[in-house]
Amino acid sequence: MYCQNCGNVLEENDKFCDLCGHSVKKESTGDNSKKETPVYSQAPINNGSIPSTEKKGRGKKVAVLLAVISIAVVVIAAIIAVLYFSSTEYQIKTNINYGNIEYAAQLYNEKSSSEKIDTENVEETVFEKLEKIKKDFTENNIDYTSAKTQSEAIQRFSSQNIEAKAQEALQYIEDLNTSRISFSSAQKYAENKNYKDAIDRYKNVIEADENYEAAQEEIIKLIKLYKEDILENAETLEKEGEVLEAIELLEEASKIAGNDEDIANKKEALKSKHYKSIEEDLDKIIKEEKYSEGLEYFEEKNLKTGMSDGIDKRLDEIQKGAVKEVISKANSLVKEKKYSEAIVLINEFLEYKKSLNLTAYDDELKDKISDIENRKPTKLTDMHLIDSNGVEYSEGAFVDSFGNVYDGHLHYDWVGNNEKYSIYNIKEEYSTFTGSISACQHTGSDEQMVILIYVDNELRYTSKQFGKTTEKFDFSVNVKGGKQLKIEAKLTSGYCGYACCSIVNTELYK
């Protein structure tokens, strides 16, 4: 039997030609005398083409080749599968899915640098695991400790992407856990009629929490109860005269209950009443010019700037008056040459104002401190001594011929007829030099002396002639622009063999 399509020799039971694949049609059994002979019912003429028997052999070879190829493909696939299932990557992913996350992370960290691992594939598996942990925790299939422990284990993978995702998952778990705790706490506060804390806790419940809708419903219900309590408590405080406390209570309630009209109206009514009373008290203080008492009132009543325009205006006037009082006291101290005390006075007042959060006119006070610092004299003995002859400075007590005692003095004494002097560097910083001159108690009765003061070798001052019977006298010398100050003491008469004098209270002014 031959193929009607290509002439290939077929077996009796073949249904398809194994050379061309053509379907074989069986001839019906019947009267053979009437059956027509098909085109290929006889062997084809051999015109140089491949004999049909050879074609049949070739078809079988093709079939065998295809079978071999198929077997080879299966074997290769099996080898690849065996290699994959024994690979580090497969072990990592398998351990992740089975919950052995710490071991998976250890494998990844140890092998990722030395073996070729598809990190994106591993990361995808890890991300899927993180999403499952979050889902299980959200649906209460695992507890907080388990969710946190697994997520922390995933953080151990040496991958920035994994660490970041794990941190996000941990934050989600923490937030949801905190939300659930807040919901539970809120229920307990509500049972104890602590509406404020209950509302506060319910507000901490997040949308991912299965209790979110219930929390929102409870907030609406509890705000109504809280509002009733607050208005009642504010009314009680007002009757007791604690108006400021009532206002503060309503301020807090506004933050919790939102822009409630009843709470806002009550608060404004109390403020208006309270502020009017304060303004009347401040007006009385201003009228009596008791500005320091005004600041004490401000502190006692726990007032703040910005409470009302009327209070702020009066407070500014009180601050201005109090600053003038302090500056006046400081000026009096300066006149008494108590410069340090004056500066301390102003600094203490500045600190007091700071404690009250009041800063008006601070610059005026600071300018006054600078002014006093500039006016504050410098002791001559604090200046650099350039040269001297027969002069010494003593911090001990000096007793003059009239028995007056002084602390610290420049001492000049003579043995024979010698000129004594001292020269100081005053750096062109000062304008006036002052002091007092007196003979010491050991000076002879006949000795007479004189003091000369030079500025850059220019004689600026000559004292009167003085001796043991001359009382202490003061001097003031213009030294403006001078670099060097020279003080010279001369013995003008007597020559008894010993005389002395001192200059006390020597000060330089800028």
Whose tokens are 């994959």? That residue is 84
Q: What angle do CA 221, 224, 225 make, to 5 degrees?
A: 90
pLDDT for the residue numbered 87 = 74
β-pairing verdict for 448-455 and 458-462: antiparallel
Q: What is the mean pLDDT of residues 360-379?
A: 92
Q: Is the dihedral of CA 247, 253, 257, 262 positive or negative?
A: negative
> What percent of the chain stands above pLDDT 90?
52
What is the Cα–Cα distance from 227 to 368, expressed in whole angstroms? Answer: 53
Map residue 400 onto helix, strand or coil: strand
Per-residue pLDDT at 142 exceeds 90: yes
Q: pLDDT by residue (tens digit) across 80-123? A: 544 344 478 888 888 888 888 999 888 888 887 767 778 888 88
pLDDT for the residue numbered 76 = 62
Per-residue pLDDT at 54 exceeds 60: no
CB 368, CB 346: distance < 8 Å: yes
Length of the chain: 510
Q: What is the dihedral angle through the alpha carbons of 30, 32, 38, 40, rounded to the nearest 10 degrees?
A: 110
Per-residue pLDDT at 496 exceeds 60: no
Buried b (16+ CB within 10 A) or exposed e, 231-268: beebeebbeeeebbebbebbeebeebbeebeebeebbe
CB 90, CB 123: distance < 8 Å: no
pLDDT for the residue numbered 41 = 43
Confidence of residue 243 (pLDDT cuts 50, 70, 90): confident
**Which helix (DSSP H) or strand (DSSP E) does residue 474 occupy?**
strand 473-478
Mean pLDDT of the chain: 85
Q: What is the mean pLDDT of residues 167-184?
A: 96
Per-residue pLDDT at 430 exceeds 80: yes
Residue 470 CB burial class (10 angstroms; 0-12, 13-18, ≥19): buried
pLDDT for the residue numbered 58 = 61
Confidence of residue 495 (pLDDT cuts 50, 70, 90): low
pLDDT for the residue numbered 374 = 85
Confidence of residue 463 (pLDDT cuts 50, 70, 90): very high
pLDDT for the residue numbered 188 = 96
Q: pLDDT by residue (tens digit) across 310-345? A: 999 999 999 999 999 999 999 999 999 899 999 999
Q: pLDDT by residue (tens digit) across 28-48? A: 544 444 444 444 444 444 445
Task: Dig out the tokens for 413 from the structure.
Answer: 């004494």
pLDDT for the residue numbered 57 = 59
What is the Cα–Cα distance from 210 to 163, expressed in whole angstroms? Answer: 27
Q: What is the mean pLDDT of residues 494-506?
A: 78
The DSSP-derived string for 287-312 is HTT-HHHHHHHHHHTT--TTS-HHHH
CB 350, CB 322: distance < 8 Å: no
Per-residue pLDDT at 284 exceeds 50: yes
pLDDT for the residue numbered 331 = 95
Give me the phi and psi of 491, to 5 degrees please.
-90, 120
> What percent of the chain stands above pLDDT 70?
86
Options 2.60.120.1060, 3.40.50.920, 1.10.357.10, 3.90.79.10; which CATH number does 378-509 get?
2.60.120.1060
Q: How many CB atoms lie within 10 A of CB 510?
A: 13
Q: Is 48 left (phi over 0), alpha (psi -120 to 50) or beta?
A: left
pLDDT for the residue numbered 37 = 45
pLDDT for the residue numbered 497 = 54
pLDDT for the residue numbered 65 = 72
Task: Dig out the tokens for 27 from the structure.
Answer: 């001839």
